[in-house]
Amino acid sequence: MSKVSKKKDRAPRADGTRTGATRTDARAADGPGTDTRTDDGARPATTAGVSRRRLIGGAGAAGAAGLVLGAAGGAGGYAATRDDPPAALTTIGSTEVMFHGKHQPGITTPLQARGHLVAFDLASGAGRRGAAALMRRWSALAERLMAGRTAGGGAGHDTGVALDAGPSSLTVTFGFGRSFFERTDLVDRRPAGLDPLPPFSSDHLDAGRSEGDLWVQIGSDDSLVAFHALRALQKEAGEAARVRWQMNGFNRTPGATARPMTTRNLMGQVDGTNNPEPGESDFDRRIFVPSGGPAAHAWLEGGSYAVVRRIRMLLDDWEKLPVGRQEQVIGRRKADGAPLSGGTGTTPMDLDKTGADGKPLIPANAHARISSPEKNGGAAMLRRPFSYHDGLLDDGSPDAGLLFICWQADPFRGFVPVQRKLDRGDALSPFIRHEASGLFAVPGGAAPGEYVGQRLLEA
C-alpha cells in the first residue's frame, strides 16, 4: 500500500468484506483524480449537500449560460440538483472484499449487482510455464483492483474507467477447465470432479460458448468497476490466452429494496431460497473440497467446483401464464418466495401437506419439490446466479434468462443428481433452454505472497 494511503482500517466481515475504506490511496498513488471523501466515506456537505433551492438561488449571477453549462456536465450536474446526498451509494462504493484467504472471493460473497463471466483458451505452446506466468499476473492484478487501486502497468496501461470509484465489492475468481490440464501437461493432477457432465434432455448447447481452459468470474456492485476489471484482465492475458466466450449479467442493486431480500430472476420469482448458508454446520462439507484427499489433488483443498449454465427463459410463453399457474410450476408464492405449503420465504417446504382435495399443496412436478435436497439424497449446491439480457432473437423473442452458477464440493454429488431428476419431469422445463455449459475446478484461495493455482502449477 502506498505511503500516502489514508485508508481507515475496519475489521473485515465474516464474508471477507470491509466497509468504510477511504479511497484517497488509490487516487494519490496510482493516477489522476482527487477523492474528496471523508474518513466515513461521505462526500463533504459543500458538494453532496447542495440543495435544489441553493442551486437555483445562486443561478442569477451566472444567468442562463450557467444553467446550460451545468446541463452539459451530465450526471454531475444532475447529482448537484438532488435534494438527498448520495450516502448509500458512497457506502456501496467503499465496500472491499479481501483477495487473500482460505477460499477465493466471489463464492460466499453476497450477490453483486453486475457480473462478467469469461472463458479463455491458452495459446498454443503456452504450456505450464506460460499458464503460471499468466496466473501470477492475473492474481496481482485482481488484488490491486479489489482494493480499489488502478491496474498499474505504467502510463497509459490503465483505461481510467474506475479512477473515481471505490472497490465496490469487486471480486475476481479463477477456475480451471478440464482441457487446462491437457494444455499444461498436468493430466495426472486433474481431479475426477472434472469428468465431463452427462448430457441432459433440456440441453441445446453451443460448443463455442461452453467450457474453456480458464474461467474468470467478475462481480461488483458498480458496472464501471466490473467493466474496468474485465478490460484489465483481458489486456493482461496478452498473447498467453485468448477469449473463448464472454457473458454479462446483472442483479438487483444493493439498497434498492427497503430491506435485504433474496434476489428475483427475470421470471419474477425469488431465486435462491433454500440455499445453503455459511453458518450451517455442514456448509463447508457441501461446498468446499476438504483436505485429506489424494496428494495429487492437494492443490484443490479449500477450493470448489463451479457449474456454469446459460439458461434462456422463454419469457413470452411464461408471461402468458396467470400468476397462480406460475406458482404451481415453481412450488412457491411469487410475492415472497414462500412455499405453497405455507409460511414465509424462509419456512421449510412441507412436501407432505395436502389441500382440501387431498392433493399435495406443492405439486409433484413443481420445480422446488424436484430440486429440494430432501428429494435428492441431501444433494445441495450454493446457487449464485446473474440474470442476462442480450437483446432480441430473430423471431422477436427476448434473448434473456439466467447465468446459472452453482458451487459444490463435488458436482457429481451436487449438480448432476439434481439436474438428472429435473430432466425427468420438472414443470419448469418447457419454459427454459440450457444453451451453454461449463465445469471448472476453482482452487482454494491464495495466501499472501501466492498466486491462485500456484500449488498446482509449481508442485
Query: Domain-by-domain residue ranges, the chain?
Result: 17-92, 104-459
pLDDT of residue 22: 38
pLDDT of residue 92: 87
Beta-bridge partners for 433: 312
pLDDT of residue 377: 84
- Find out whether 145 and 228 touch, Cβ atoms under 8 Å: yes
Q: How many CB atoms are closer than 10 A to CB 89?
A: 20
Buried (b) or exposed (e) across 308-325, using 16+ Cβ within 10 A?
A: bbbbbbbbeebeeeeeee
Q: How many CB atoms are closer than 10 A to CB 438?
A: 25
Residues in Cβ contact with 245 at an 8 Å cutoff, skipping those fewer than 6 apart: 118, 119, 208, 209, 210, 212, 436
SS3 assignment for the chain: CCCCCCCCCCCCCCCCEECCCCCHHHHHHHCCCCCCCCCCCCCCHHHHCCCHHHHHHCHHHHHHHHHHHHHHCCHHHHHHCCCCCCHHHHHHHHCEECCCCCCCCCCCCCCCCEEEEEEEEECCCCHHHHHHHHHHHHHHHHHHHHCCCCCCCCCCCCCCCCCCCCCCCCEEEEEECHHHHHHCCCHHHCCHHHCCCCCCCCECCCHHHCCCCEEEEEEECCHHHHHHHHHHHHHHHCCCEEEEEEEEEECCCCCCCCCCCCCECCCCCECCCCCCCCCCCCHHHHHCCCCCCCHHHHHHCCCEEEEEEEEEECHHHHCCCCHHHHHHHHCECCCCCCECCCCCCCCCCCCCCECCCCCECCCCCCHHHHCCHHHCCCCCCEECCEEEEEEECCCCCEEEEEEEEEEECCCCCCHHHHHHHHHCCCCCHHHEEEEEEEEEEECCCCCCCCCCCHHHHCC
pLDDT of residue 4: 39
d(CA 136, CA 147): 17
d(CA 94, CA 170): 10
**What number of CA atoms fall less than 13 Å from residue 108's CA on the CB side?**
26
- Find out whether 219 and 169 touch, Cβ atoms under 8 Å: yes
d(CA 421, CA 418): 5
pLDDT of residue 11: 45
Dig out the grid coordinates for 330 from the structure. 415453481
Rounded alpha-carbon distances, angstroms, from residue 344 to 43, 73, 100, 334, 386: 39, 47, 37, 11, 24
Ranges under pLDDT 50 in the chain? 1-14, 20-82, 86-87, 155
d(CA 345, CA 183): 46
pLDDT tens by residue, 210-251: 999 999 999 999 999 999 999 999 999 999 999 999 999 999
pLDDT of residue 257: 83
Crossing angle for the helix pair 127-146 and 223-237, to the nearest 10 degrees: 160
pLDDT of residue 26: 37
Strands 432-442 and 304-313: antiparallel
- Give the catalytic positions in this structure: 271
